[in-house]
Amino acid sequence: MIIDTHCHLDFDQFRADRNSVIERAEKAGVRYFINVGSSLKGSRKSIELASEHDSVFASVGIHPDDADGITEETFTEVERLLENKKVIAIGEVGLDFFKKRSTPDKQKTLFTRFIDISKKRNLPLIIHNRDAARDTVDILKKNGTHPILGVMHCFSGDEKLLGEVLEMGLHVSFTCNLTFKNAKRLREIAKGVPLDRLLLETDAPFLAPQAYRGERNEPAYITELRDVLSEILNVSKEEIEKVTTENAKKLFKIP
């Protein structure tokens, strides 16, 4: 039994065959999906999906790329969406200085605001960081609880960053990019994650595993990630499933 703690089944890439994608994943052992909102529209759609499928839970968040367009009305809507019982997390939120689609200052303000909401509602954070590790850590340390409830999604960085993330109490997840031929370094770093902080995620439709590289990713492929983690952490596939499922259930309060 597996929990895909981060996928975007609401995206257009799944419009034509969403139900078969979910069925294929369930056949592969995925019991629950956390459909992560990355915009207001996406968060609404996540909730819709969650209401249609028992196995789907939703998170509400706005990607840092969209930080420039935020108004107070956005937050009124966010608060309204958060009232839904199937919303179990805030995300994805964070900083993205790779493309800088929104001004860094606006991204920081938006991220801080979501940290406050997560504290107020006692909901875990699903954190996105791309090329912004320093600021992400600083903002979390300054504004977060101790320990911080949440996960550093699609972890990218070095041992030092991993150390800081763990120190803050966060969980860590890798996507199927851990299976890439050229991800040797990342696989080395992954060895430093204690089992009780590890989560599985696909980030589908993005980052299909090596075997399907370049194609659309889907939650059924999460077994490729499980297998590579089993290999590098030197524990059985069953154990990877068991601990990551326990971790996800506890963090996201999934019954």
Contacts with Ni ion, residue ranges (CB under 5 A) = 203
Write the single-letter amino acid at 21: V
Smaller CB separation from Ni ion, 225 or 233: 225
When CB distances to Ni ion are compared, the closest residue is 203
Minimum distance between the CB of residue 170 and Ni ion, rounded to whole angstroms? 16
Smaller CB separation from Ni ion, 203 or 224: 203
Smaller CB separation from Ni ion, 34 or 161: 34
Minimum distance between the CB of residue 72 and Ni ion, rounded to whole angstroms? 26
Minimum distance between the CB of residue 203 and Ni ion, rounded to whole angstroms? 5
Smaller CB separation from Ni ion, 42 or 144: 42
The DSSP line for the chain is: -EEEEEE-TTSGGGTTTHHHHHHHHHHTTEEEEEEE--SHHHHHHHHHHHHH-TTEEEEE---GGGGGG--HHHHHHHHHHTTSTTEEEEEEEEEE-SS--S-HHHHHHHHHHHHHHHHHHT--EEEEEES-HHHHHHHHHHHS-SS--EEETT--S-HHHHHHHHHTT-EEEE-GGGGSTT-HHHHHHHTTS-GGGEEE---TTS---GGGTTS---GGGHHHHHHHHHHHHT--HHHHHHHHHHHHHHHHT--
Measured over the CA atoms of residue 8, residue 12, residue 14 and residue 15, the dihedral's sign is positive
Minimum distance between the CB of residue 128 and Ni ion, rounded to whole angstroms? 7
Smaller CB separation from Ni ion, 8 or 233: 8
Minimum distance between the CB of residue 92 and Ni ion, rounded to whole angstroms? 5
Smaller CB separation from Ni ion, 175 or 233: 175
Minimum distance between the CB of residue 146 and Ni ion, rounded to whole angstroms? 26
